[in-house]
Amino acid sequence: MPIRADTANARDVFGAVALTKRRRNLLALVSIAGLLMLWWLVTALAWVDKVLLPAPAEVLSAFMRSASDGSLAKHVGISLLRVVEGFAIALAVAVPIGILMGSFAIARGLIEPVVELLRPIPPIAVIPLAILWFGIEELSKVLIIAYGAFFPILVNTIAGFHEVDRTHIRAAQALGASRLQIFRDVVLRSAYPFIVVGARLGMGMAFIVLVAAELIASDAGLGYLINDGRYNFHTDQIFLGMACIGVLGFLLNRALLEAERHLLKWKYVGQ
């Protein structure tokens, strides 16, 4: 019996029917609740010194104090703005370069050696140079974040163009499509999923670099909040900063997933 297209799209790689959105959300709640319960149990039974691992109630108390005096909103807002700005710069630069390198062999031959030379250099190694060139103002932090997010987006964009099914291109040519139409309706659409994956990886890297930049040279932001907690032995403040970064990363990742669902509706038929 043939499998309908929408049913096939709703199955996982082993052929089992994939979870519905409602069940996925339920499992997500169960996993988070299980993690919180394990955390509470470990601290309640004093398996770990509370200086090293504060109880959930202590982190919640730190959250209430920071939220009431407005300091938490300030740190979150500053860090979020830095991440969004750096990520936007990386996306605006990496995608066009990735399209150029994925579409033209000459462009890839010229640009790839430079990319492969710079890509192994970790963003944290660039921080001293960025401070030397741009000082400790916002520009240096945003550019460091952009540097970290740039390479995952670029590499995945190039990979997307290499994975385009040539049969689709030949079919479009047989139907009389122009080069522009083939690029827009076949090549670019096929590369969309890879670009979105690269954007998600770039967003994750942006948060990693954000914390590194704020730990070294900042007087505000979630990285600064974590570092300040370390200096003053306020472990609850450290966990609060980590939790805020996790929540922000989760929300931004969900936004990218929703953008993917909107742009690639054909992938989610029946799901």
What is d(CA 105, CA 3) in angstroms, rounded to the nearest whole number? 40
Cα distances (Å, whole numbers) of residue 40 to 178, 226, 244, 259: 62, 21, 19, 36
Domain locations in the chain as residue ranges = 1-47, 51-268
Mean of the per-residue pLDDT values of the chain: 81
Structure tokens that stand for 161 in this block: 């163009």
- Identify the helix (H) or strand (E) that includes residue 3: none
Instruction: Give the pLDDT of residue 89.
Output: 94
Report helix, strand or coil for 175. coil
Question: Each residue of 180-198: pLDDT tens digit?
Answer: 777 766 777 777 888 888 8
Please give the Cα distance from 172 to 175 (Å, whole number).
5
Kindly give, in sequence order, each residue whose CB lies less than 8 Å from that of residue 51, ignoring residues fewer than 6 positions away: 233, 235
| Band (5; pLDDT cuts 50, 70, 90) | very low
* Domain 51-268 coded CATH 1.20.1080.10: no
Note the pLDDT of residue 14.
60
| Residue that is written with structure tokens 């670099």 in the block | 209
d(CA 127, CA 116): 19
What pLDDT is attached to residue 15? 61
Q: Is the pLDDT of residue 150 over 90?
A: yes
pLDDT given for residue 232 in this prediction: 82
Tally of CA atoms within 13 A in the half-sphere of 43 that contains its CB: 17
Burial bucket for residue 205 (CB in 10 Å: 0-12, 13-18, 19+): buried
- Both tokens assigned to 260: 């993917």
Q: Which helix (H) or strand (E) holds 217?
A: none
For residue 237, pLDDT beyond 50? yes
Q: Cα-flanking dihedrals φ and ψ of residue 11, to 5°?
A: -100, 155
The whole-model pTM stands at 0.76
Q: How far apart are CA 187 and CA 60, in angstroms?
A: 49
pLDDT score of 139:
85
Q: Do residues 210 and 82 lie in contact, with contact meaning Cβ atoms separated by under 8 Å?
A: yes
Query: Do residues 157 and 98 touch, judged by C-beta distance below 8 A?
Result: yes
* Cα–Cα distance for residue pair 231/238, rounded to 1 Å: 10
Helix-strand-coil split of the chain, %, nearest 5: 80, 0, 20
Mean pLDDT comparison of 35-39, 47-51, 160-164, 266-270, highest-scoring range? 35-39
Residue 97's pLDDT band (cuts 50, 70, 90): very high
Q: Are 149 and 204 in contact (CB under 8 A)?
A: no
The answer, yes or no, to whether residue 113 has pLDDT greater than 50, is: yes
pLDDT tens for each residue of 7-59: 444 555 566 666 677 888 888 888 888 888 998 888 888 888 777 888 888 88
